[in-house]
Amino acid sequence: MEQIITLERKSTLNDAIQRLQHAQSERVVLVIPRGAKALRGPIPLRRLLRYALDEGLDLTLVIHDRQVRRLAREAGFRLAPTVGKSQVQPPLNEAVRESSYRRAFRSPIRFRPGDPLTLNFWQRIRGYLVLLAVALFFGLVTVILLPQATVVMVPFHYGLDTTFEARADPSVKGVDTANRYIPGRAVGVQVEGTMRLDTTTEDRVADAKSTGSVVFANRTDQPVPVIAGTILATTAGYTIRFQTTEPITVPAGLDQKARAPIEAVEPGWFGNVAAGTINRIEQPLGLPLYVLNDKPTTGGTNKTAMIVTLADKQTLREQLEEQLGNEAYAVLQSQLRENEFLPRESLTIRITEEVFDQEAGKEAESLGLRIRMEVDGVVFDGVAANELAAFILTDKVRPGFTLRRASVRTAPTGVLRVDKSQTLLMTFYATGVEDHTIDQGAVRRAVTGLSLAGAESTVAERWPLMAAPQVWVEPPWYGRMPLFDFRIQVVVKEG
């Protein structure tokens, strides 16, 4: 039973041999489609026949291409016009196989002018001419394009500087060169902290309370109770207050009397009053009694101690505000984006809570303070500031020179004002470099075709430079500048 193997157009000779290696039958019909280029010459067909004979295959070819079919017949293949007719052919006998063997291994391969892979005389001549033309073309291209020169120049330059005012405004989206506005960004943070400060002023302060006694006289015919803590006072000059320390009851009857111990409400020597000066009942009101101290009060004393002053409070407030301001500034700095700057002077502080633990004049070795405050500022874009500075510096550039924009540096020198709309008015100092303008096309045209020394001399004479020009050519053996200026590269370096 024949096995039919159909090749594809893109199949190679190796593909055909591999298909034959996996054949399951000794009788094989190999179908070669039209356009199968790998088997269009006598050499691959001869190799295919040799393999089939070596493997003992009874191989029949069905070829759709007339020229390939002729080559296969001359090579010694058995052919069939269709797959159906190949199946009715008898097996190869020994005589036919021997004849095919002699053709495949002993007879020379004959090429005809029309065969694939065969070149006639004029075809060879045409090929030689094409090769010669290609060689001439590449030789010409090598002479013209192979040399490549480089000219390195460092143009003369001057330094520039200026000062200017500008506003950073959060409502501005881009640089406004006409009005000198740059984009800003409002930032803020809330901070809270405490601090203690040792007091610095020594003074006399109240120490012990004055004590004594008073006599109450009844103004009614009923007994009158007097509770502890009843407030009594002097009426002459500065009012000094006292309070009873024990409860008593004044007996019933007009002008009946009772004595009660007292002490001054506030400590200090001013509680030592003369007899007959404590004569008023302040609380509770309406007691039907008279009161009077028949003896002076004594025991009230002062001492020397540290006290809180208004200056202490002010110093503590300033120190804590500065500390919290620095903390807020550090927090805001950590939140800056790339190329953003926050002037310290732009910060505005609003204290929302301030609590001292001592009042001025009170005895205390130290004073404590707690502050909560909101800190706001305006951030400006450093790139935008450089852009505005470059615009301003451009007006200062000399004729024939160009501002080197990468050299522009800007730094804020002061904050003049911070508006309620958080617009920041600042002063800036800007520096830059102006380079002599180099027309690279003119340089290339000036040195085309010159010697290397001539090129260096020409460039040095015609253009103001900071250093001698450097000129070289590749390959070095060429020794001159290229004949075409597009093969010359001009490199302008910054000085």
DSSP line for 54-72: HTT-EEEEEE--HHHHHHH
Q: How confident is the model at residue 99 (pLDDT cuts 50, 70, 90)?
A: low
Which percentage of the chain shows pLDDT scores above 70? 91
User: What is the average per-residue pLDDT within 192-198?
Assistant: 94
β partners of residue 377: 187
Tell me what the mean pLDDT of segment 232-254 comes to.
93
Task: Say what the pLDDT of residue 44 is.
Answer: 83
How confident is the model at residue 203, as a pLDDT? 85
The residue behind tokens 């989206």 is: 173
pLDDT of residue 98: 62
- CA 152 to chain CA centroid, nearest Å: 35
Whether the model pTM is above 0.75 = no
Torsion of CA 468, 473, 474, 479, to 10 degrees: -130
What DSSP state is assigned to residue 210?
Answer: -
Tell me how far apart the alpha carbons of residues 265 and 270 are, in angstroms, rounded to a whole number: 11
The whole-angstrom separation of Cα 129 and Cα 119 is 14
More confident residue, 122 or 182: 182
pLDDT given at position 6: 87
Q: Which residues contact 453 (CB under 8 A, 6 or more apart)?
A: none
Count of CA atoms in the C-beta half-sphere (13 A) of 10: 0
Token pair recorded at residue 27: 């009788």
pLDDT of residue 36: 79
User: How far from the centroid of its chain's Cα atoms is residue 229's Cα?
Assistant: 73
Q: Which helix (H) or strand (E) holds 332?
A: helix 310-334
Task: For the beta carbon of residue 100, count every other beta carbon within 10 angstroms.
Answer: 20
Q: Quick one: what percent of the chain has pLDDT higher than 90?
A: 55
Q: How confident is the model at residue 117 (pLDDT cuts 50, 70, 90)?
A: very low
State the greatest distance between any 2 C-alpha atoms of the chain, in Å, as a whole number: 175
Q: How far apart are CA 113 and CA 121, in angstroms?
A: 9
Sign of CA dihedral 55, 61, 65, 71: positive
Q: Which residue has the higher pLDDT, 96 or 268?
A: 268
Q: Residue 95 — very low, low, confident or very high, per pLDDT cuts 50/70/90?
A: low
Per-residue confidence at 245, pLDDT binned at 50, 70, 90? very high
**pLDDT value of residue 141:** 67
Arithmetic mean of pLDDT, 228-247: 93
Which residues neighbour 287 within 8 Å (Cβ) at sequence distance 6 or greater? 224, 226, 230, 281
Q: What pLDDT does 103 receive?
A: 59
27 contact partners, CB below 8 Å, separation of at least 6: 1, 2, 3, 57, 58, 60, 91
Nearest CA to 315 out of 173, 212, 442, 198 is that of 198
Residue 402 CA neighbour count, 13 Å, CB half = 10
pLDDT of 127 above 80 = no
In this prediction, residue 46 has a pLDDT band, given cuts at 50, 70 and 90, of confident
Nearest Cα residue to 47 out of 124, 138, 109:
109
Per the model's pLDDT, the better-predicted residue between 116 and 188 turns out to be: 188
Judge whether residue 296 has pLDDT over 90: yes
What does the pLDDT read at residue 10? 85
Mean pLDDT over residues 120-127, rounded?
Answer: 63
Mean pLDDT of the region 143-148:
73
Using alpha carbons, select from 205, 385, 369, 217 the residue that is nearest to residue 303. 205
Task: Give me the residue spans of the domains in the chain.
Answer: 3-105, 163-199+308-424, 205-302
Q: Are 481 and 140 in contact (CB under 8 A)?
A: no
Backbone angles phi, psi at 430, to 5 degrees: -125, 145
Separation CA 355–CA 308 (nearest Å): 14
Averaged pLDDT score across all residues of the chain = 87
pLDDT tens for 363-420 read: 899 999 999 999 999 999 999 999 999 999 999 999 999 999 999 999 999 888 888 7
Query: Is the pLDDT reported for residue 65 higher than 90?
Result: no
Report the alpha-carbon distance of residue 76 to residue 78 in Å, rounded: 7
Q: Please state the length of the chain.
A: 495
Beta bridge partners of 224: 250
pLDDT at residue 247 greater than cutoff 80: yes
Condensed to tens digits (0 to 9), the pLDDT of residues 304-318 reads 899 999 999 999 999
Question: How confident is the model at residue 119, as a pLDDT?
Answer: 43
Does the structure show a pLDDT above 60 at 120?
no
- Torsion over CA: 381, 386, 387, 391 (sign): positive
Q: Check whether 118 has a pLDDT greater than 50.
A: no
pLDDT score recorded for residue 440: 93
Q: Do residues 104 and 46 touch, judged by C-beta distance below 8 A?
A: yes
Q: What is the pLDDT of residue 450?
A: 93
**Locate tokens 């903390």: which residue?**
327
CATH class for the domain made up of 3-105: alpha beta
Sequence letter at residue 188: G
Pairing of strands 470-474, 148-153: antiparallel
According to the model, what pLDDT value does residue 61 have? 87
